[in-house]
Structure 1
Amino acid sequence: MYWYCTYPNLPPHSYFHIFCENPDYPSMNVKNHTLLNEFILRGIPQTEGLEAVRCAVFSFIYLFNLLGNLLILVAIVSSSTLHMPMYFFLGLLSIFDILFPSVTCPKMLLYLSGQSPVISYKGCASQLYFYHLLGSAEGCLYSVMSCDCFVAVCHPLRYMLIMKPGVCVSLVVVAGLVGCLHATILTSFTFQLSYCGPNQVDYFCDIPAVLPLACTDSALAQRVGSINVGFLALTLLISICVCYTLTGITILRIRSAEGRQKAFSTCSAHLIAILCAYGPVIIIYLKSTPNPLLGAMVQILNNIVSPMLNSLIYSLRNKEVKR
């Protein structure tokens, strides 16, 4: 009987641990370690020495996002002409686009400005939970908005009857419940594992960054995460495609050019926003970015830039909102 014992080179802020394994008797493997209670955010790879530039750029994008979405929200609340289901969902989207980047961006800006890059274990778990809660709820909201667009174009005379306030609120509640369930499953499977070795993650805590650090077998958590994210994203994307396909067929049947242009303008803003939201998610979770810098840029596009683009898209392409 023999044992292999390793003493890994641990980064700062992690706890010393020993891992001893008997290769002939896997059931007798022994772990003598202290679990981590914090992680270190590494920042964007291959951009060392540019912290001040990154902090300035991301601060501008984040503040522009907050201001743009806040202005849309104020316009919808203050204008009686915008008190319709379509703009109710747009106002909720603005709220999500304020909250979603706020999960990760403030902490990132703190350590880019020279503050400690350490995030607590509970803070990391909370970051992952709210990131997926808000992200999945926003994905559900896109699906709801596509259904709203379908009803507005295909059944304009019955629009207010179908999209009653109670129906709108129920759809939003369902979106929130789906987000809570999705985030709870992913967070519980991710953080039921033991983390006792390397503790460096990317610039925020997400499943692809945290799971590789687990001391125990993470295969189940990886499968659950991939299936959960893939199934939810695919289901929502199919529902969106069906709604917009039916909407597009109806638009093509409109005889007047002005009517077609108005209907197309209503739906095109939604489609552009959906493409900006779903494109980065597909790239991230299909792991089609072998370059770490490119992967980080895609994450930033998903976390900060896409929410900012929504405010531009809806303000520039919607005449009622511009007024």
Structure 2
Amino acid sequence: MQKKDTEFRQEHTVNRMRLEETEVDEIRGIMSIACLVCLRRRLYLLPLITTLWIIMSLFVSYGIAVSYGHTEPDFPYISHTAIEAPERCVFGQLVNIGAVMLVMNVLVRYLFLKEIFKHKKMHNVHQWQHGNIAGVVIGVLSALGMSMVANFQTEVQRAPHYVGAGLAFVMGTSYTWLQTTITWRLRREGLGSKFLAILRFVNCFLLTCFLIIFTISKTYYKIKEYRGEGSKYDTLRGVYLTSTISEWLVAGSILAYTLSFTWDFRSIVLESPKVKLNLQQLENGNNNNRLSAEVDSRQRGTTPV
């Protein structure tokens, strides 16, 4: 009889533990929805959504600016599609969201590489771990620059606008080269696709070429325009279009590189965040507040509530 009672208690304990585990899983599922999270098992969609969102942001502001006659329809600078209201308001809001989404991609990529370096034995693994951390810093700075471009219009706040453009393009290009280097290093360990590694290298090469062309052509155009030796409507038309088209190609190349993360993110599942509550600390804090109230009441000669 005693043996049956012991078995019953053990079975009851096991069933209770299973019920608690089920409740925890349900809570984790709820937390997942709140935290990026509808994508937690489909993180490969994050780079796609980010790329489409930013492209949509650029073309929506471009369409509004052209419809209001605030800019020319044939290849203006990206920033010239967001100088006047209402397009600058739309551009700023949408691009800020896009910048946050870029940071999310950078962080997921960092966590992806962190797990690889943690479980894969590699030569000079600490060096690559430091490179992974540097990638987060560079990627976040690039996204910050993108947000600065959106918030500081070129005709109103030139200095912060150009600083933001420099961060977005230069740091963005640096980030792509760093990630491409890591991609080729992982290929030596048999990880990843060779086609993807080649594609990323070609993307980086073209991005660098576009950035050089943009920098040179825009500098030349601005100098000539400042000296009064022409404008974008006459003798400097060719240089101006070279500058604007190359700028759009730089932005497109960075977005194309972001899109390449889709392949890597297929193998990632995002775990839900956990929150640990220190109930004793809350209770102690409440007791301390009551004690303080009593002391104050005694000093004032009143009755505590």
For normalisation by structure 2, the TM-score amounts to 0.39
Larger fraction in strand: 1
Larger fraction in helix: 2
Structure with max Cα Rg = 2
For normalisation by structure 1, the TM-score amounts to 0.37
